[in-house]
Amino acid sequence: MKFNIDDLPVVFPYDRIYPEQWEYMCDLKRTLDASGHCVLEMPSGTGKTVSLLSLIVSYQQFYPTKRKLIYCSRTVPEIEKALAELKRLMAYRIEHAETEEEKENERNFTGLGLTSRKNLCLHPEVSKEKKGRVVDARCRDLTSAAACEKGRANPGSVPLCDWHEGLNELEPGTQLGRGIWTLSDVEQHGREKGLCPYFAIRRMMPFVNVVIYSFHYLLDPKVAEQVSKELSKDSIVVFDEAHNIDNVCIESLSIDLTRPMLDSAARSVSRLGEKIEEIKVTDASKLQDEYAKLVEGLQEADAARDEDAFMSNPVLPDDLLKEAIPGNIRKAEHFVAFLKRFVEYLKTRMRVLHVVAETPLSFLQHLKDITFIERRPLKFCAERLQSLVRTLSLTQLDEYYALQKVASFATLVATYEKVGFLLILEPFETESSTVPNPIFHFTCLDPSLAIKPVFERFSSVVITSGTISPLDMYPKMLQFTPVVQETYAMTLSRNSFLPLIITRGSDQVAISSRFEVRNDPAVVRNFGSILIEYSKIVPDGIVAFFPSYLYMESIVAAWNDMGILNEVWKHKLIFVETPDANETSIALENYRRACDNGRGAILLSVARGKVSEGIDFDHNYGRAVIMFGVPYQYTESRILKARLEYLRDAYRIRESEFLGFDAMRNAAQCVGRVLRGKTDWGLMVFADKRFARSDKRAKLPRWINQYITDTAANLSTDMALVLSKLFMRTISQSSTENQTGISLWTLEDVLKAQEKRKASEIDMGMQAERDEEMDEDEYGDGGLPDEILAEMEVDP
């Protein structure tokens, strides 16, 4: 259907639209018009992606500025889904364009997605490697500027990648044709034409209208510098499924070093030393050239900072790159000696047997006192290493991985010396361990640091998700001011999901995962009986979530001893999520099989785990989700404690406020897994008395909270079962109600809504005018001049 939002003609690729989709698009348009940022919470399963794409593509096509869309999603399947949606939308737009010229304009619209080499590589041997970083390193050996130069000058002297070579014959911007390319389309095209899909996409990026990739390509400075540097400033940036964006930001600026990593880094440093000695004999001019260039500044030295960069700088801004490299690390052998000293220093620090927490400033001071290493050369460490790797034409770069980490660590610690970071050295893995296994955490405490460049560079950033309540938390944590901040209610002609809060068992004992009572046999038994009873009444799949692996293990062991698992097995099979990704995917596969063949199954999983984040349990794969306990984070973690302290001091976010928010966003994320569309249905059971508290409920997304009735907010197990049975009996009847006009709009309904909106805007405008007049009318005389008032004999 086609309709207008203000002056913008919007093409939506379906005949019907949900009211919340229309509202969402109106708010998006307002954000883009204002060239500002927004936070939007759209209920799960209400077509967020298609609404986003429809509005933004319409915007791009209508206005001559042709702003680029950078759409960030979390996982590869989600990226592929968004690309498929975009492809469908563009096919619809081409089909419904009115003139041939318009059709041609739509056909020229280009969009593609980017993922890692590991997912796209076609090389028969390289693609077999299991680890992403090994694929990257092997690919770099075959495609680095030095290898290509040598291989082309003297064919056969060094191995090159044929798929990469194939690309060089093509003009920039012609590696892929116009139109929308899903990742599998590009892969197939690569196979047919003998072109590398990864580099084809990378080289096409400056020429396309839409790029869809993962958060890291924008937020992680190490990757962003290589991939996203060229993107124009007026691009529209969207972070979809952004409820965990603060954690992604923090991870991208944090580094952990371990003892084995330092040993490996020390070996790499020695190898670098040997290589330098070798090259001094064979080709000393290379080192002299490098030295001369480093005097000019890194930018010059690194003129070839292109797609084959081994590592890029985690933080250095462009202006610093133009500076000369500090004299004491300019010479290759001096730099190697410098690295050696730094690694040795870190090793000595790791010998300490007590926990140390210090600021980067105090770390730098101590480093200087002991080793005379200054902050400035440390800051250039990552870039200097990159230059040396290039000069020495090193291969098998994955072996230098640990050294790369150490260099990034050095650069980060010297750049962020003041606020927002903390160094924590933990000598033992757990409190009870006696054998040291030290970890040096360089941890970022302030998520706004990683996202700051994005807000500064791009005028419109959209932060959106199905569960992003409370909305004001994100602007506070990420330090930005949104122009629109909105959460949408879910319109349904009949409830397709039923949220219930169970606060006590059938024996009236309160249930909770609170530390003091979590292992109380009465609580464990009550949790168990919820599982037994729901396994009896719910068809097909049930997903149960626990706050942590540790807690899940202890509960499952206790359930086994109490005979609860035996009881559950009578009705359904049980599968368990584990920290091992392979084990979990096998469990998931079998869980789905049991749901499909009618045997029915229960999947026991944890909040913040793989299952809770990226896996959908639509239709028969999830008819009920049970959240056992409130998924608070483990508050004894030193990193979390430091972060809480920072949030309190810097942003006035209280500890309890952040922990409550974090627990509820994860709980909402877990229960939201069952509802993936308006035709889907499911039960959402919150089993913990703390969920009934108003402060907790207020943190749930509006679209869930609106359906928690007073009756459903404080139930015992038996009462919850009665309501659940009733709900399932109702939902399994075919609906007699017509959704059209209520939760599904035709074009006519959209037009009506538009009229209504316009009228209310006019009303509001008139009211505002009247208010203004009233403000001016300080004597309450209607603003009439004194002479007239005198004639009218009105007493002012």
CB atoms within 10 A of CB 92: 17
CB of 150 to ligand SF4, least distance (A): 16
Task: For residue 498, list its beta bridge partners.
Answer: 683
Phi/psi for 740 (5° steps) reads -60, 130
Binding flags for ligand SF4, 265-284, as an x/- string (CB under 6 A):
--------------------
Choose between 136 and 246: whose C-beta lies nearer to ligand SF4. Answer: 136
CB of 159 to ligand SF4, least distance (A): 10
CB atoms within 10 A of CB 473: 20
Residues 6+ apart with CB under 8 A from 242: 463, 464, 465, 468, 474
- Tell whether residue 644 is a contact of ligand SF4 (CB under 6 A): no
* Among 622, 627, 628, 629, CA closest to 542: 622
Distance CA 136, CA 117 (A): 6
Distance CA 595, CA 572 (A): 9
CB of 399 to ligand SF4, least distance (A): 18
**H/E element, 486:** strand 482-487
Residue selected from 38, 53, 142, 544 as contacting ligand SF4 according to rule CB under 6 A: 142
How far CA 100 is from CA of 94, 105, 664, in Å, comes to 9, 9, 51
Choose between 144 and 666: whose C-beta lies nearer to ligand SF4. Answer: 144
Tell me if the bond preceding 470 is cis, omega within 30° of 0.
Answer: yes
Binding flags for ligand SF4, 177-196, as an x/- string (CB under 6 A):
-------------------x
Q: Are 429 and 437 in contact (CB under 8 A)?
A: yes
Structure tokens at 668: 């909402």
Residues 6+ apart with CB under 8 A from 619: 676, 680
Task: Kindly state the number of chain residues that form the binding site for ligand SF4, as judged by CB under 6 A.
Answer: 14
Choose between 165 and 781: whose C-beta lies nearer to ligand SF4. Answer: 165
CB of 141 to ligand SF4, least distance (A): 9
CB of 129 to ligand SF4, least distance (A): 10
* Amino acid of residue 765: G
Choose between 120 and 245: whose C-beta lies nearer to ligand SF4. Answer: 120
Q: Is 540 left (phi over 0), alpha (psi -120 to 50) or beta?
A: left
Binding flags for ligand SF4, 306-345, as an x/- string (CB under 6 A):
----------------------------------------
Choose between 160 and 715: whose C-beta lies nearer to ligand SF4. Answer: 160
CB of 199 to ligand SF4, least distance (A): 6
Distance CA 664, CA 604 (A): 19
CB of 119 to ligand SF4, least distance (A): 10
Choose between 77 and 194: whose C-beta lies nearer to ligand SF4. Answer: 194
CB of 650 to ligand SF4, least distance (A): 42
Region near ligand SF4 per CB under 6 A, out of 139-147, 448-456, 660-668, 760-768: 139-147
Q: Are 545 and 558 in contact (CB under 8 A)?
A: no
* Among 544, 542, 543, 552, CA closest to 513: 552
Q: Are 17 and 24 in contact (CB under 8 A)?
A: no
Choose between 389 and 524: whose C-beta lies nearer to ligand SF4. Answer: 389
Torsion angle, CA of 240/243/245/248, rounded to 10 degrees?
-110
- Tell whether residue 527 is a contact of ligand SF4 (CB under 6 A): no
Task: For residue 487, list its beta bridge partners.
Answer: 41
Choose between 139 and 403: whose C-beta lies nearer to ligand SF4. Answer: 139
Choose between 142 and 332: whose C-beta lies nearer to ligand SF4. Answer: 142
Q: Are 238 and 464 in contact (CB under 8 A)?
A: yes
- Tell whether residue 462 is a contact of ligand SF4 (CB under 6 A): no
Choose between 126 and 684: whose C-beta lies nearer to ligand SF4. Answer: 126
* Among 464, 592, 469, 608, CA closest to 546: 608
Task: For residue 625, list its beta bridge partners.
Answer: 543, 684
CB of 201 to ligand SF4, least distance (A): 10
**H/E element, 317:** none
Distance CA 520, CA 526 (A): 10
Choose between 127 and 459: whose C-beta lies nearer to ligand SF4. Answer: 127
Region near ligand SF4 per CB under 6 A, out of 74-82, 135-143, 323-331, 680-688: 135-143
Q: Are 228 and 201 in contact (CB under 8 A)?
A: no
Binding flags for ligand SF4, 57-76, as an x/- string (CB under 6 A):
--------------------
Choose between 217 and 380: whose C-beta lies nearer to ligand SF4. Answer: 217
CB of 709 to ligand SF4, least distance (A): 55
Choose between 126 and 713: whose C-beta lies nearer to ligand SF4. Answer: 126
- 425-449 CB burial, b ≥16 within 10 A, e <16: bbbbeeeeeeeeebbbbbbbbbbbb
CB of 167 to ligand SF4, least distance (A): 8
Binding flags for ligand SF4, 196-215, as an x/- string (CB under 6 A):
x-xx----------------
* Among 171, 175, 174, CA closest to 163: 175
Binding flags for ligand SF4, 9-48, as an x/- string (CB under 6 A):
----------------------------------------
Site for ligand SF4, residues 89 to 118, rule: CB under 6 A: 117
CB of 161 to ligand SF4, least distance (A): 3
CB atoms within 10 A of CB 10: 23
CB of 385 to ligand SF4, least distance (A): 22
Residue selected from 10, 70, 121, 473 as contacting ligand SF4 according to rule CB under 6 A: 121
Distance CA 429, CA 435 (A): 9
Structure tokens at 795: 């007493």
- Tell whether residue 123 is a contact of ligand SF4 (CB under 6 A): yes
Residue selected from 90, 139, 402, 594 as contacting ligand SF4 according to rule CB under 6 A: 139
Site for ligand SF4, residues 153 to 172, rule: CB under 6 A: 161, 163-164
Task: For residue 444, list its beta bridge partners.
Answer: 421
3-state helix, strand, coil in the chain (%, to 5): 55, 15, 35
- Exposure on the CB side of residue 150, measured as CA atoms within 13 A: 13
Task: Kindly state the DSSP code that residue 230 receives in the 8-state scheme.
Answer: T
Q: Are 42 and 464 in contact (CB under 8 A)?
A: yes
Site for ligand SF4, residues 356 to 395, rule: CB under 6 A: none
Choose between 142 and 407: whose C-beta lies nearer to ligand SF4. Answer: 142
CB of 117 to ligand SF4, least distance (A): 4
Choose between 196 and 382: whose C-beta lies nearer to ligand SF4. Answer: 196
Choose between 68 and 117: whose C-beta lies nearer to ligand SF4. Answer: 117
Choose between 128 and 351: whose C-beta lies nearer to ligand SF4. Answer: 128
What is the 3 state secondary structure string of 570-588?
CCCEEEECCCCHHHHHHHH
In the block, tokens 């069952």 appear at 674
Binding flags for ligand SF4, 758-787, as an x/- string (CB under 6 A):
------------------------------
- Exposure on the CB side of residue 230, measured as CA atoms within 13 A: 13
- Tell whether residue 122 is a contact of ligand SF4 (CB under 6 A): yes
Choose between 122 and 423: whose C-beta lies nearer to ligand SF4. Answer: 122
Give the binding site for ligand SF4 (CB under 6 A).
117, 121-123, 126, 139, 142-143, 161, 163-164, 196, 198-199
